[in-house]
């Protein structure tokens, strides 16, 4: 999904076992999205596995818990 940024609501919408793929406009947005995933892990106890995409501006995370 092409997004300007990844919000906490986007992350909450991922069901367990689902992979979220986000294409972002620039490296700063990619870093911000990584921080959001880390924050959700810490604050809400979610667990994620990063999935390699091969694209520098595309992030993919699989929700494990």
Among 19, 37, 41, residue whose Cα is nearest residue 29: 37
For residue 34 the two structure tokens come to 């990584």
Is the separation of the CB atoms in 3 and 24 below 8 Å? yes
What is the distance, to the nearest Å, from the Cα of residue 42 to the centroid of all Cα atoms in its chain? Answer: 14
pTM of the model: 0.90
Q: What is the pLDDT of residues 13-59, one digit of tens each?
A: 999 999 999 999 999 999 999 999 999 999 999 999 999 999 999 99
For residue 31, the model assigns a pLDDT of 97
């Amino acid at each position: 999904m092409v997004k300007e940024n990844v919000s906490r609501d986007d992350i909450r919408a991922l069901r367990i076992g689902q992979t979220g793929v986000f294409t972002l406009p620039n490296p700063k947005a990619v870093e911000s999205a990584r921080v959001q995933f880390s924050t959700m892990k810490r604050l809400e106890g979610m667990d994620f596995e990063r999935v390699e995409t091969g694209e520098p501006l595309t992030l993919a995370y699989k929700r494990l818990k």
